[in-house]
């Protein structure tokens, strides 16, 4: 990836975030009310439910460490400024991915701020890509039915199927203690039923958090926990 191609990727991602988070409409509303409409105020508004970070994560397309190396080679951000606590205990491949993601997020945020301040509100959506750890559906979302169970965790913007190393509720940062299964179905959730509860997720993407191949984890979700794609 050349610096020019990277700059285009950063800009496309910034445009997608400003579009999906309705940046122009929010800014105009704040200005009309006489409220502060600075970019950082918009960021906190967009990040209130995690939308800003979620879109960034969904569109970055970091499939493996080779993608990370490409970003490290073209970004002008300083990788030494990345908090080592984000990747402490991880294998070197994961360390590269964590650092590259942080650099990319800084570049995209800077570009989004530049466009926001210049009232450059191009409207465009960026399809969510498939990677070894993600299935992207947006903007044509897919619906999934997820039966309730002790492995089901609400995330605020989706449903997670979680099987931790020793208990369903544990969470660990080190790869030594990564969950056996951690698959997130991201999107608006509708809860149905009383005795037999299930969740319908209007899914923008499905991704995992344990480093496995997403196809393998989706098959396990289907066979072991009854997760079904219904539309």
Q: Would you list the domain boundaries of the chain?
A: 3-117, 134-229
> According to the model, what pLDDT value does residue 48 have?
87
The CA distance from 83 to 29, in Å, is: 36
Which of 188, 170, 187 has the alpha carbon at shortest distance from 179?
170
> According to the model, what pLDDT value does residue 180 have?
82
Segment 107-132 mean pLDDT: 95
For residue 172, pLDDT over 70 is answered with no
For residue 42, pLDDT over 90 is answered with yes
> According to the model, what pLDDT value does residue 167 have?
46
Instruction: Give the C-alpha distances (Å, rounded to integers) separating 149 from 45, 99, 102, 213.
Output: 33, 35, 34, 23
Segment 193-217 mean pLDDT: 91
Where does the pLDDT of residue 78 fall: very low under 50, low under 70, confident under 90, or very high at 90 and above?
very high
Which of 133, 122, 68 has the alpha carbon at shortest distance from 96?
68
> According to the model, what pLDDT value does residue 62 have?
86
Return the sign of the alpha-carbon dihedral for residues 17, 141, 133, 170.
Answer: positive
What DSSP string runs through 164-213? Answer: -SS-TT---SSGGG--SEEEEEES-EEEE-SSS-EEEEEESEEEESSSS-
> According to the model, what pLDDT value does residue 179 have?
74
Largest CA distance in the chain: 56
> According to the model, what pLDDT value does residue 166 have?
55
Q: Are 86 and 98 in contact (CB under 8 A)?
A: yes
The tokens describing 171, both together, are: 């969470």
The tokens describing 54, both together, are: 């979620």
Q: What are phi and psi of 198, to 5 degrees?
A: -145, 160
| Sequence-separated (6 or more) residues with CB below 8 Å from residue 215 | none
Where does the pLDDT of residue 217 fall: very low under 50, low under 70, confident under 90, or very high at 90 and above?
very high
Segment 6-28 mean pLDDT: 95
The percent of residues in the chain predicted with pLDDT above 70, rounded, is 94
5 burial level (CB within 10 Å; 0-12, 13-18, 19+): exposed
């Amino acid at each position: 990836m050349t610096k020019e191609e990277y700059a285009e990727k950063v800009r496309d991602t910034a445009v997608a975030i400003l579009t999906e988070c309705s940046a122009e409409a929010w800014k105009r509303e704040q200005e009309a009310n006489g409220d502060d409409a600075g970019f950082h105020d918009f960021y906190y508004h967009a990040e209130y439910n995690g939308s800003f970070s979620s879109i960034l994560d969904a569109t970055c397309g970091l499939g493996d460490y080779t993608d990370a190396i490409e970003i490290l080679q073209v970004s002008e951000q300083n990788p030494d400024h990345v908090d080592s606590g984000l990747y402490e205990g991880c294998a070197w491949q994961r360390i590269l991915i964590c650092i590259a993601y942080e650099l990319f997020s800084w570049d995209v945020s800077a570009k989004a701020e530049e466009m926001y301040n210049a009232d450059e509100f191009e409207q465009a959506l960026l399809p969510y890509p498939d990677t070894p750890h993600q299935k992207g559906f947006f903007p044509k979302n897919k619906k999934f039915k997820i039966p309730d169970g002790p492995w089901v965790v609400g995330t605020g913007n989706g449903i997670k199927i979680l099987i931790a190393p020793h208990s369903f509720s544990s969470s660990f940062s080190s790869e030594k203690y990564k969950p056996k299964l951690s698959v997130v179905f991201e999107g608006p959730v509708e809860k149905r039923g009383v005795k037999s509860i299930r969740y319908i997720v209007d899914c923008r993407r499905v991704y995992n958090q344990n480093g496995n191949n997403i196809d393998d984890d989706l098959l396990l979700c289907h066979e072991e926990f009854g997760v079904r794609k219904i539309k």
